[in-house]
Amino acid sequence: MIHPVRWQGDHVSLIDQTRLPVAEVWIRCDTWQEVAAAIRHMQVRGAPAIGAAAAMGMALAARPIAADSTLNPLDALLAAQQGLAATRPTAVNLFWALERMTRRAVAAGSSGSDWATVLTEEACLIHDEDVAMCRAIGDFGAGLLPAGARILTHCNAGALATAGYGTALGVVRSAHAQGKVSLVYVDETRPWMQGARLTAWELRQEGIEHRLIADNMAGHFLHRGAIDCVIVGADRIAANGDVANKIGTYSVAVLAKENGIPFFVAAPSSTLDLSLTTGDGIPIEERSEDEVTHLAGHRIAPEGTRAMNPAFDVTPARYVSAIITEAGVMRPPYEASLATVAGARLKATT
């Protein structure tokens, strides 16, 4: 199982997710600016993986601060935080990790002299916690699945989208280890093809039986009784249980509900944004039209065709059967159940 974001003593290694599955290329980041560029260009993607990478970016930012006495330490660190925060707007794990890193630095004193050490420790802690949370999510989620489960997933919420193991695919991994998975339907997930490129790659490595489908086929298979449950990840979850996730998630959720099939969201508590009462306040990233008019560098549509490209959508909580967190399986009403997750987390970190 892959760990896509790695601390290497004095730099960060990331597997370039824009090149998979054709090539397995690792990129080296020596500065926070290089980490920010990798997030912006989706060489690292997936809400928890972005959080872990950004934390390591802050650890890289601390190194020149300690070495350069002309810098105001906090200003320099906040500049790095701001630069990393400006990369992508929707996933909240990014902001969560950055704020945690700055809090840790401030707690270590204002001189910045210890920051390289403590922020490296904190970034590695965030990384390792994420893997542990994914394993817990996987085990809680596996308990929800029937024997011989036929599972639909959308996008990639796998090891590649996290520090390792995955959220939605973490559930699939744990259930597979228990012999419970019969087939995984993989939505290809246009325009960026995370399903076809990344989820299919992970499932193939694990030897988990799967079939790739176009996004518009999921409804057909849900309607025909070919799927027992849907599991997806999340980029941000509001206090009421509304879920922002990859574009197309809302459609799958509606189609699951219409056909009486459970729709599960798997996410660590770092994905919760209890400052938002509903999903209406979640900013939706708009990406380049070229991602829709082109595929793998090839133009699909006539020259000059305009496109729209929202990268995420918001699934109202009423379509969500359960939210699987590292603290257990949360059920509606989510205002109450998600508050207990946040409370448990707060207790664990103070």
Q: Where do contacts with a second copy occur on this chain (CB under 8 A)?
A: 21-22, 154, 185, 187-191, 193, 196-197, 200-201, 204, 210-221, 223, 247-248, 250-251, 254-255, 258, 292-293, 295-296, 298-310, 313
CB of 166 to a second copy, least distance (A): 17
Q: Phi, psi (5° rounding) for residue 108?
A: -85, 0
E strands present in 71-142? none
| Residues identified as active-site | 235
Write the CB contacts of 37 (distance below 8 Å, at least 6 apart in sequence): none
Write the CB contacts of 205 (distance below 8 Å, at least 6 apart in sequence): 1, 2
CA distances from 323 to 23, 132, 277, 343 (A): 34, 17, 16, 16
In sign, the C-alpha dihedral spanning 308, 314, 320, 323 is positive
CB of 178 to a second copy, least distance (A): 23
Nearest partner of 167 among 137, 126, 197, judged by Cα: 137
**214/228 Cα distance (integer angstroms):** 18
Contact 301, 293 (CB under 8 A): yes
CA distances from 32 to 38, 81, 83, 85, 295 (A): 10, 9, 8, 11, 30
Contact 198, 188 (CB under 8 A): no
**76/130 Cα distance (integer angstroms):** 27
CB of 126 to a second copy, least distance (A): 30
Nearer to a second copy, 67 or 214 (CB): 214
Write the CB contacts of 104 (distance below 8 Å, at least 6 apart in sequence): 118, 119, 122
CB of 93 to a second copy, least distance (A): 22
Nearer to a second copy, 10 or 290 (CB): 290
CB of 38 to a second copy, least distance (A): 22
Nearer to a second copy, 33 or 309 (CB): 309
CA distances from 68 to 16, 45, 113, 242 (A): 31, 32, 10, 45
Nearer to a second copy, 13 or 251 (CB): 251
Nearer to a second copy, 104 or 210 (CB): 210
CB of 88 to a second copy, least distance (A): 18
Nearer to a second copy, 251 or 278 (CB): 251
